[in-house]
């Protein structure tokens, strides 16, 4: 009787210990793939931009999406003239946000920016901020990109997806952050099934023969200038025509 009571008294502790063993690996795994866990940016401007984007999406008539960070947002600035020439007539919507990492994009796509639309094509280019803001390892950034693709495929099953290699950054070929982006890019072709998801690497178009990034392409070695946006648009024009059925 005494031994039985003692065993019963230890049962809650044993159960708690087993529960800890069960939960701790999951928590550790979640910590390792933060890039794939949706999260908004906290700044007010970001929330306001998201609200404006959702309002635009609710208007409908969206055939082409551009999804990304400040490089994509820049179609509204230095890239404006090129955007007007290549994409305005295609009823394009710009889902680029300054500073976004993969988890921020994921949150936006899950919170209204895809609702009620069936675009023909979504162009995705994201990941360079993961290398700097949180210093995510390349495999974690790639996991975040894969989570974005999964969300797009689930929510927009009839939309083609053009996944772009993360653009080069840094003026020199041996720039540390450029090498991080290259390591991400090496993993991206495997995500393309050539039925709904397609991969395109435009990076050589921005570089000279020595692998340097000219200032006329990207004045700050990160964001395209107007010429850079034109090179971007011209480089994927044939692919866009094909995927949009033009």
pLDDT tens profile 110-152: 999 999 999 999 999 999 999 998 899 999 999 999 999 999 9
How far apart, in whole angstroms, are the C-alpha atoms of residue 42 and residue 44? 7
What global pTM score does this model have? 0.87
From 70, 91, 100, 208, the catalytic residue: 70
The token pair that represents 142 in the structure block: 């790639």
Predicted confidence (pLDDT) at residue 19 exceeds the cutoff of 50 = no
From 100, 136, 175, 223, the catalytic residue: 223
Taking CA atoms, 28 is separated from 17, 20, 67, 112, 173, in Å, by 17, 12, 29, 30, 35
Active site residue 220: yes
- Cβ-based neighbours of 197, under 8 Å, separated by 6 or more: 149, 153, 160, 161, 163, 191
Active site residue 223: yes
pLDDT tens profile 168-204: 999 999 999 999 999 999 999 999 999 999 999 999 9
Active site residue 172: no
164 close to 201: Cβ distance less than 8 angstroms: yes
């Amino acid at each position: 009787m005494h031994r039985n009571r003692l065993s019963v008294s230890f049962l809650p502790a044993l159960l708690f210990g087993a529960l800890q063993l069960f939960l701790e690996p999951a928590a550790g795994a979640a910590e390792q793939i933060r890039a794939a866990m949706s999260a908004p940016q906290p700044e007010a401007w970001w929330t306001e931009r998201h609200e404006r984007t959702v309002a635009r999406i609710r208007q409908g008539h969206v055939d082409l999406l551009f999804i990304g960070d400040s490089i994509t947002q820049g179609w509204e600035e230095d890239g404006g003239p090129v955007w007007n020439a290549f994409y305005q007539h295609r009823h394009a919507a710009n889902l680029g946000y300054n500073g976004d990492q993969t988890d921020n994009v994921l949150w936006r796509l899950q919170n209204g920016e895809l609702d009620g639309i069936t675009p023909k094509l979504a162009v995705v280019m994201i990941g360079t901020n993961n290398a700097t803001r949180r210093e995510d390892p390349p495999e974690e950034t790639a996991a975040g990109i894969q989570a974005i693709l999964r969300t797009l495929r689930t929510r927009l099953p009839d939309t083609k997806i053009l996944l772009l290699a993360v653009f080069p950054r840094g003026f020199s070929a041996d720039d540390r952050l450029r090498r991080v982006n290259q390591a991400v890019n090496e993993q991206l072709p495997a995500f393309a099934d050539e039925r709904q998801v397609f991969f395109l690497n435009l990076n050589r178009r921005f570089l000279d023969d020595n692998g340097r990034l000219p200032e006329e392409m990207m004045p700050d070695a990160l964001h395209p200038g107007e010429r850079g946006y034109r090179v971007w648009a011209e480089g994927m024009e044939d692919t866009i025509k094909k995927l949009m059925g033009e």
